[in-house]
Chain A
Amino acid sequence: MGRHNICFQLRNDLSELETLRTELERFKADADIPEKTLLEVNLILDELFTNVVSCGFRDAEEHWVKITLCREGNVLTLCVRDDGVPFNPTALHDPDTCCPMEERRIGGMGIFLIRRLTDEMTYHRTDTDNIVTLRKNLH
Protein backbone atom coordinates (compact mmCIF):
# COMPACT_ATOMS: atom_id res chain seq x y z
CA MET A 1 0.00 0.00 0.00
CA GLY A 2 1.45 3.31 -1.06
CA ARG A 3 1.84 6.65 0.61
CA HIS A 4 -0.09 9.65 -0.63
CA ASN A 5 0.73 13.23 0.28
CA ILE A 6 -0.71 16.59 -0.50
CA CYS A 7 0.37 20.07 0.63
CA PHE A 8 -1.26 23.38 -0.08
CA GLN A 9 -1.75 26.84 1.38
CA LEU A 10 -4.87 28.87 1.99
CA ARG A 11 -5.00 32.62 2.34
CA ASN A 12 -6.64 33.81 5.56
CA ASP A 13 -10.01 34.44 3.93
CA LEU A 14 -13.13 32.31 4.27
CA SER A 15 -13.60 32.27 0.50
CA GLU A 16 -10.59 29.93 0.49
CA LEU A 17 -12.89 27.18 1.76
CA GLU A 18 -13.60 26.62 -1.91
CA THR A 19 -9.87 26.05 -2.55
CA LEU A 20 -9.86 23.62 0.38
CA ARG A 21 -12.65 21.69 -1.27
CA THR A 22 -10.93 21.42 -4.65
CA GLU A 23 -7.63 20.37 -3.08
CA LEU A 24 -9.42 17.67 -1.15
CA GLU A 25 -11.12 16.42 -4.31
CA ARG A 26 -7.67 15.95 -5.80
CA PHE A 27 -6.49 14.10 -2.72
CA LYS A 28 -9.55 11.88 -2.75
CA ALA A 29 -8.75 10.74 -6.28
CA ASP A 30 -5.02 10.20 -5.60
CA ALA A 31 -5.36 8.48 -2.28
CA ASP A 32 -8.63 6.67 -2.94
CA ILE A 33 -10.54 8.09 -0.01
CA PRO A 34 -14.23 7.22 0.40
CA GLU A 35 -16.61 10.14 -0.15
CA LYS A 36 -17.96 10.16 3.41
CA THR A 37 -14.43 10.20 4.87
CA LEU A 38 -13.52 13.06 2.58
CA LEU A 39 -16.48 15.10 3.82
CA GLU A 40 -15.41 14.40 7.40
CA VAL A 41 -11.83 15.48 6.59
CA ASN A 42 -13.24 18.59 4.91
CA LEU A 43 -15.17 19.38 8.09
CA ILE A 44 -12.13 18.90 10.32
CA LEU A 45 -9.94 21.19 8.23
CA ASP A 46 -12.78 23.67 7.66
CA GLU A 47 -13.39 24.09 11.39
CA LEU A 48 -9.70 24.62 12.17
CA PHE A 49 -9.24 26.98 9.23
CA THR A 50 -12.35 28.96 10.14
CA ASN A 51 -11.09 29.35 13.71
CA VAL A 52 -7.73 30.59 12.44
CA VAL A 53 -9.30 33.10 10.05
CA SER A 54 -11.83 34.32 12.62
CA CYS A 55 -9.55 34.53 15.66
CA GLY A 56 -5.97 34.11 14.58
CA PHE A 57 -4.81 37.49 13.40
CA ARG A 58 -4.79 40.95 14.91
CA ASP A 59 -3.58 42.72 11.79
CA ALA A 60 -5.13 43.28 8.35
CA GLU A 61 -2.29 41.49 6.61
CA GLU A 62 -2.40 38.51 4.34
CA HIS A 63 -1.42 35.28 6.05
CA TRP A 64 -1.07 31.77 4.75
CA VAL A 65 -2.38 28.67 6.43
CA LYS A 66 -0.43 25.57 5.43
CA ILE A 67 -2.24 22.29 5.20
CA THR A 68 -0.83 18.86 4.61
CA LEU A 69 -2.57 15.53 4.31
CA CYS A 70 -0.95 12.14 4.20
CA ARG A 71 -2.43 8.71 3.77
CA GLU A 72 -0.25 5.77 4.74
CA GLY A 73 -2.07 2.49 4.81
CA ASN A 74 -5.23 3.07 6.78
CA VAL A 75 -3.99 6.08 8.67
CA LEU A 76 -4.72 9.61 7.59
CA THR A 77 -2.56 12.37 9.07
CA LEU A 78 -3.63 16.00 8.77
CA CYS A 79 -1.58 19.02 9.69
CA VAL A 80 -2.67 22.66 9.91
CA ARG A 81 -0.01 25.30 10.45
CA ASP A 82 -0.52 29.05 10.84
CA ASP A 83 1.46 32.03 12.10
CA GLY A 84 -1.36 33.59 14.07
CA VAL A 85 -1.77 34.26 17.78
CA PRO A 86 -1.20 31.27 20.04
CA PHE A 87 -4.29 29.11 19.88
CA ASN A 88 -4.46 25.59 21.23
CA PRO A 89 -7.60 23.76 20.13
CA THR A 90 -6.80 20.80 22.36
CA ALA A 91 -7.21 22.93 25.45
CA LEU A 92 -10.63 22.78 27.05
CA HIS A 93 -11.28 26.50 26.95
CA ASP A 94 -10.33 29.11 24.40
CA PRO A 95 -8.20 31.98 25.71
CA ASP A 96 -10.40 34.78 27.01
CA THR A 97 -8.80 37.38 24.80
CA CYS A 98 -9.22 35.34 21.65
CA CYS A 99 -12.70 36.14 20.39
CA PRO A 100 -16.04 37.65 21.29
CA MET A 101 -18.57 35.28 22.86
CA GLU A 102 -20.44 34.65 19.60
CA GLU A 103 -17.45 33.31 17.74
CA ARG A 104 -16.21 31.33 20.68
CA ARG A 105 -19.41 29.31 20.64
CA ILE A 106 -18.73 28.43 17.02
CA GLY A 107 -15.20 27.47 17.97
CA GLY A 108 -16.49 25.26 20.74
CA MET A 109 -18.83 23.32 18.49
CA GLY A 110 -16.20 23.05 15.75
CA ILE A 111 -13.59 21.58 18.10
CA PHE A 112 -16.19 19.20 19.49
CA LEU A 113 -16.97 17.91 15.99
CA ILE A 114 -13.26 17.55 15.22
CA ARG A 115 -12.74 15.48 18.37
CA ARG A 116 -15.58 13.16 17.43
CA LEU A 117 -14.19 12.65 13.93
CA THR A 118 -10.53 12.11 14.72
CA ASP A 119 -8.57 9.60 16.73
CA GLU A 120 -5.91 11.97 17.95
CA MET A 121 -5.22 15.70 17.97
CA THR A 122 -1.99 17.28 19.15
CA TYR A 123 -0.80 20.85 19.32
CA HIS A 124 2.63 22.37 19.14
CA ARG A 125 3.63 26.00 19.29
CA THR A 126 6.89 27.28 17.81
CA ASP A 127 8.14 30.87 18.30
CA THR A 128 5.79 32.03 15.59
CA ASP A 129 3.46 29.22 14.54
CA ASN A 130 0.61 27.04 15.73
CA ILE A 131 0.84 23.47 14.47
CA VAL A 132 -2.14 21.17 14.88
CA THR A 133 -1.66 17.54 13.89
CA LEU A 134 -4.55 15.11 13.65
CA ARG A 135 -4.76 11.40 13.06
CA LYS A 136 -7.78 9.67 11.62
CA ASN A 137 -7.89 5.92 11.22
CA LEU A 138 -9.72 4.68 8.15
CA HIS A 139 -11.77 1.51 8.48
Chain B
Amino acid sequence: MEIIEQQQNDAWIFRIDGRLDSNTAPDLETTVVKAIERGARNMVIDFESLAYISSAGLRVILKTAKDLKRLDGILVLCSMQDYVREVFEISGFDTFLPIAPTAGDAVRQVSRKPE
Protein backbone atom coordinates (compact mmCIF):
# COMPACT_ATOMS: atom_id res chain seq x y z
CA MET B 1 0.00 0.00 0.00
CA GLU B 2 1.36 3.42 -0.94
CA ILE B 3 0.31 6.84 0.20
CA ILE B 4 0.89 9.78 -2.11
CA GLU B 5 0.93 13.13 -0.36
CA GLN B 6 0.13 16.45 -1.93
CA GLN B 7 -0.66 19.91 -0.65
CA GLN B 8 -2.93 22.50 -2.23
CA ASN B 9 -2.89 25.77 -0.29
CA ASP B 10 -3.89 24.66 3.20
CA ALA B 11 -5.40 21.34 2.09
CA TRP B 12 -3.37 18.16 2.66
CA ILE B 13 -4.33 15.43 0.22
CA PHE B 14 -3.45 11.78 0.73
CA ARG B 15 -4.13 9.37 -2.09
CA ILE B 16 -4.08 5.72 -1.08
CA ASP B 17 -2.88 3.28 -3.68
CA GLY B 18 -3.68 -0.35 -2.84
CA ARG B 19 -5.61 -1.86 0.04
CA LEU B 20 -6.42 -0.75 3.57
CA ASP B 21 -6.53 -3.73 5.90
CA SER B 22 -5.21 -4.67 9.34
CA ASN B 23 -1.75 -5.11 7.82
CA THR B 24 -1.53 -1.79 6.00
CA ALA B 25 -3.75 0.48 8.11
CA PRO B 26 -1.00 1.20 10.69
CA ASP B 27 1.05 2.85 7.91
CA LEU B 28 -1.82 5.21 7.14
CA GLU B 29 -2.19 6.00 10.82
CA THR B 30 1.51 6.84 11.12
CA THR B 31 1.38 9.07 8.03
CA VAL B 32 -1.65 10.97 9.25
CA VAL B 33 -0.31 11.43 12.78
CA LYS B 34 2.94 12.82 11.39
CA ALA B 35 1.03 15.18 9.08
CA ILE B 36 -1.03 16.48 11.98
CA GLU B 37 2.18 17.04 13.94
CA ARG B 38 3.47 19.04 10.98
CA GLY B 39 0.34 21.22 11.07
CA ALA B 40 -2.18 19.48 8.80
CA ARG B 41 -5.74 20.47 9.72
CA ASN B 42 -7.69 20.39 6.43
CA MET B 43 -7.30 16.91 5.11
CA VAL B 44 -8.55 14.99 2.10
CA ILE B 45 -8.17 11.24 1.79
CA ASP B 46 -8.59 10.23 -1.83
CA PHE B 47 -9.82 6.69 -2.41
CA GLU B 48 -9.67 6.67 -6.20
CA SER B 49 -6.95 4.00 -6.19
CA LEU B 50 -8.28 2.10 -3.17
CA ALA B 51 -9.78 -1.24 -4.15
CA TYR B 52 -10.45 -2.66 -0.72
CA ILE B 53 -11.00 -1.61 2.91
CA SER B 54 -11.67 -3.57 6.10
CA SER B 55 -12.69 -2.48 9.60
CA ALA B 56 -9.04 -1.75 10.44
CA GLY B 57 -9.08 0.88 7.70
CA LEU B 58 -12.37 2.30 8.94
CA ARG B 59 -10.92 2.62 12.40
CA VAL B 60 -7.95 4.69 11.20
CA ILE B 61 -10.27 6.92 9.16
CA LEU B 62 -12.50 7.46 12.18
CA LYS B 63 -9.57 8.23 14.47
CA THR B 64 -8.24 10.72 11.93
CA ALA B 65 -11.60 12.47 11.67
CA LYS B 66 -11.85 12.69 15.46
CA ASP B 67 -8.27 13.95 15.88
CA LEU B 68 -8.75 16.66 13.27
CA LYS B 69 -12.10 17.72 14.67
CA ARG B 70 -10.55 18.13 18.09
CA LEU B 71 -8.06 20.54 16.52
CA ASP B 72 -10.82 22.43 14.64
CA GLY B 73 -9.77 20.74 11.45
CA ILE B 74 -11.75 18.66 8.98
CA LEU B 75 -11.45 15.40 7.06
CA VAL B 76 -13.20 14.85 3.74
CA LEU B 77 -13.05 11.57 1.85
CA CYS B 78 -13.47 11.28 -1.91
CA SER B 79 -13.62 9.15 -5.07
CA MET B 80 -14.84 5.91 -3.52
CA GLN B 81 -15.19 2.78 -5.62
CA ASP B 82 -18.43 0.79 -5.26
CA TYR B 83 -17.20 -1.80 -2.78
CA VAL B 84 -15.51 0.78 -0.55
CA ARG B 85 -18.68 2.86 -0.61
CA GLU B 86 -20.67 -0.20 0.40
CA VAL B 87 -18.46 -0.79 3.44
CA PHE B 88 -18.92 2.82 4.52
CA GLU B 89 -22.68 2.48 4.11
CA ILE B 90 -22.99 -0.85 5.92
CA SER B 91 -20.96 0.47 8.81
CA GLY B 92 -22.90 3.72 8.92
CA PHE B 93 -19.69 5.70 8.56
CA ASP B 94 -21.18 7.56 5.61
CA THR B 95 -23.65 9.25 7.94
CA PHE B 96 -21.03 11.28 9.76
CA LEU B 97 -18.01 11.44 7.44
CA PRO B 98 -18.21 13.83 4.49
CA ILE B 99 -17.71 11.98 1.21
CA ALA B 100 -17.16 13.96 -1.98
CA PRO B 101 -17.40 12.54 -5.51
CA THR B 102 -14.05 13.94 -6.67
CA ALA B 103 -10.78 15.19 -5.20
CA GLY B 104 -11.55 18.65 -6.58
CA ASP B 105 -14.85 18.74 -4.67
CA ALA B 106 -13.15 17.48 -1.54
CA VAL B 107 -10.40 20.11 -1.66
CA ARG B 108 -13.03 22.82 -2.11
CA GLN B 109 -14.93 21.45 0.86
CA VAL B 110 -11.96 21.41 3.25
CA SER B 111 -10.75 24.81 2.13
CA ARG B 112 -14.06 26.53 2.83
CA LYS B 113 -13.64 27.87 6.33
CA PRO B 114 -16.64 29.06 8.32
CA GLU B 115 -15.99 32.52 9.79
Contacts and interface: CB of A to CB of B under 8 A. Distances in A.
Pairing of A with B: yes
Contacts of B83: 36, 39-40
Contacts of B51: 39
A117 B54 CA distance: 13
Chain A interface mostly = helix
Contacts of B55: 47, 106, 109-110, 113
A113 B87 contact: yes
B23 A17 contact: yes
B23 A109 contact: no
Interface of B: 19, 21-23, 51-52, 54-56, 58-59, 82-83, 86-87, 90-91
Query: What's the interface size class on A, roughly?
Result: 20 to 34
Contacts of B22: 14, 17, 46, 50, 53-54, 106
A43 B87 contact: yes
| Smallest CB-CB A-B distances: 8 pairs | A14-B23, A109-B55, A50-B22, A39-B83, A110-B55, A116-B90, A46-B54, A17-B23
A15 interface: yes
Contacts of A113: 54-55, 87, 90-91
A112 interface: yes
A105 B23 contact: no
B21 A17 contact: yes
B94 to A, nearest CB: 14
